[in-house]
Structure 1
Amino acid sequence: MIHSLRYEVNCSILFTELPLLERAAAARQAGFDAVEFWWPFAEAVPADRQVDAFVAAVEDAGVQLVGLNFAAGDMPGGDRGLVSWPERSAEFRDNVDVTVGIGERLGCRAFNALYGNRVDGVAAATQDELGAENLAVAARAAARIGGTVLVEPVSGAERYPLRTTADALAVIDRVHAAYDVTNAGLLADLYHLAVNGDDVDRVIADHAGRIAHVQIADAPGRNEPGTGSLPLMRQLAALDAAGYTGWVGLEYKPTTTSIDSFGWLPHDRRAATTSTH
């Protein structure tokens, strides 16, 4: 086991047997002191009382929020982000301040901006131009609180254009060149990269310094480590050796109950050595 890495639970895919506002407390009871969430509301701009209830649930659980997605549309329905989607660009921008505001209240500094599927009737170049502009808007907002915007390659969505590390880094480089934004980083989900055919070992060797956040699941199945064939422990050790000091998000679908799916990780490794991101 890699002893310097810090693990945290994605409460949007784990503990789904519980209401969303009870999941952070369940993660704490399982021994973790940090969590992440996909966008936890139905609307891009929820009512203040909904935001307050979410913030209170995380605070009351005694855990640190270390990752939060911007609004990404109807994820169960197939949406994968609003960043490059012209018809929903204003909705994304309205969401930016809400998301960063939650981060400011809870000490979260990592914000995942899912890029968005290709849409009919809009040239890919037009979507990419808008995507870079919106990522710059989000990154500048996050910079006000010392935050980082994450760009993630994703599998299982045919119209999502960022599939490999090279795809995501090209977008990040474009944002940097066009808008002088330096606080955008790669979200390396080792499951998505492997499923898409990326050479994960080479990604770690060549780009560890550009990885701002890590997530894991085994393949096939996107279940807990040890249920598939991915060399996750070896790859995490390589990340550790390369100097990665960020969080490792457990973003998998448990094959049993959520609490029973953590058997691969000793209880004394679940709490981070520090409670700040």
Structure 2
Amino acid sequence: MRLTVNGSILLTELPLLERPAAVRAAGFDAIELWWPFASSTPDQADVDALVQALADAGVQLTGLNFNAGDMPGGDRGLVSWPERESDFLANLDVVTQIGERTGCRAFNALYGNRQPDADPVAQDSLGARNLAAAAAAVARIDGIVLVEPVSGMDAYPLKTAADTVAVIDRVASEHGATNLGLLLDVYHLAVNGDDVDAAIAAYRYRVAHVQIADAPGRDQPGTGDLPIERWLGDLASGGYAGWVGLEYKPAMPASQTDPFAWVPRERRTAH
């Protein structure tokens, strides 16, 4: 499987536009990003600068989040948030443009927290409609929308692989959108108490992207208790040949440690 570096959780000591080059210098040729701008509709100059930084570094953008709101402040997506529907829809063309220009074809749509003043049933109906709209937007470039279980936020309703696949199936059933897939993040599933082995066995053919971090601690593989290599082997045996995102938080500052020391140089490139 091919490794891609999450440049929104790793290398954060560097400015955003310097991270693609740092990924290349570390021996990788792929990067994924959370939504890197302050708004759903950033200035074109800022979009151009990001696209140019990726091109200059010679790294492939393998995944991009739709705008998920104020992540440090606790937001986890706009998809099912009634007051942010227009904000989410305004983001679709920008995301698709970036995908078209960079060759990125996988786009993560964080579902959104339950809102205290909103009906969960209405939120889920809105979520299905917005995911269908996102799928239609990226279908123009043969893209896929990723849907992800998330840990650490009680108000986020998708905790397990089954929760997430149910949403994906609802979008297909109600809106006919089929270019959606499961983002299987072994850290989030394990921390939420999901049975990762059972999830892989049940949904291996629904997995469109994989992310890894160890638990406890969300640090690099080998720092916790999760059998990450075995899970990756099970996915590969089941036919998964896509990207594996390195989405972990090094415990030590970058000035004191190499966050990629655990990855042999020969495993860092996709070629």
TM tier relative to shorter chain: over 0.9
Matched AA of 2:29: D
How is 1:25-174 mapped onto 2 (pairs within 5 angstroms)?
Answer: 25-174=21-170
Deviation of 1:257 (Å): 4.6
Matched AA of 1:98: V
CA distance in 1 between partners of 2:73 and 2:252 (Å) = 25
Matched AA of 2:192: N
Corresponding pairs, count: 269
CA distance in 2 between partners of 1:159 and 1:256 (Å) = 30
CA distance in 1 between partners of 2:252 and 2:263 (Å) = 15
Q: 1:267 corresponds to which residue? A: 265
CA distance in 1 between partners of 2:23 and 2:237 (Å) = 27
Deviation of 1:256 (Å): 2.9
Q: 1:244 corresponds to which residue? A: 240
| Preserved CA contact (<8 Å) 1:82 1:114 | yes
Percent sequence identity over aligned pairs: 65
Matched AA of 2:6: N
Q: 2:177 corresponds to which residue? A: 181
Q: Which of these residues, 246, 250, 264, is aligned with residue 254 of structure 1?
A: 250
Q: 1:202 corresponds to which residue? A: 198
Q: Which of these residues, 10, 13, 16, is aligned with residue 12 of structure 2?
A: 16
* Stretches (4+) displaced over 2 A: 255-259
CA distance in 1 between partners of 2:32 and 2:252 (Å) = 21
CA distance in 2 between partners of 1:206 and 1:184 (Å) = 17
Matched AA of 2:189: L
CA distance in 2 between partners of 1:264 and 1:255 (Å) = 14
Matched AA of 1:225: P
| Preserved CA contact (<8 Å) 1:67 1:108 | yes
CA distance in 2 between partners of 1:47 and 1:86 (Å) = 25
Matched AA of 2:264: P
Q: Secondary structure at the match of 1:65?
A: strand
Q: Secondary structure at the match of 1:233?
A: helix
Q: Secondary structure at the match of 2:137?
A: helix
CA distance in 2 between partners of 1:190 and 1:57 (Å) = 30
CA distance in 2 between partners of 1:254 and 1:133 (Å) = 37
Q: Secondary structure at the match of 1:214?
A: strand
Q: Which of these residues, 199, 210, 235, is aligned with residue 214 of structure 1?
A: 210
CA distance in 2 between partners of 1:270 and 1:257 (Å) = 21
Deviation of 1:262 (Å): 1.3
CA distance in 2 between partners of 1:191 and 1:150 (Å) = 16
CA distance in 2 between partners of 1:201 and 1:64 (Å) = 30
Deviation of 1:249 (Å): 0.1
Q: TM-score, normalised by structure 2?
A: 0.98
Deviation of 1:255 (Å): 2.2
| Preserved CA contact (<8 Å) 1:255 1:261 | no
Q: 1:30 to 1:235 in 2, by over 3 A?
A: same
CA distance in 2 between partners of 1:119 and 1:185 (Å) = 25
Q: Secondary structure at the match of 1:261?
A: coil
Q: Secondary structure at the match of 1:187?
A: strand
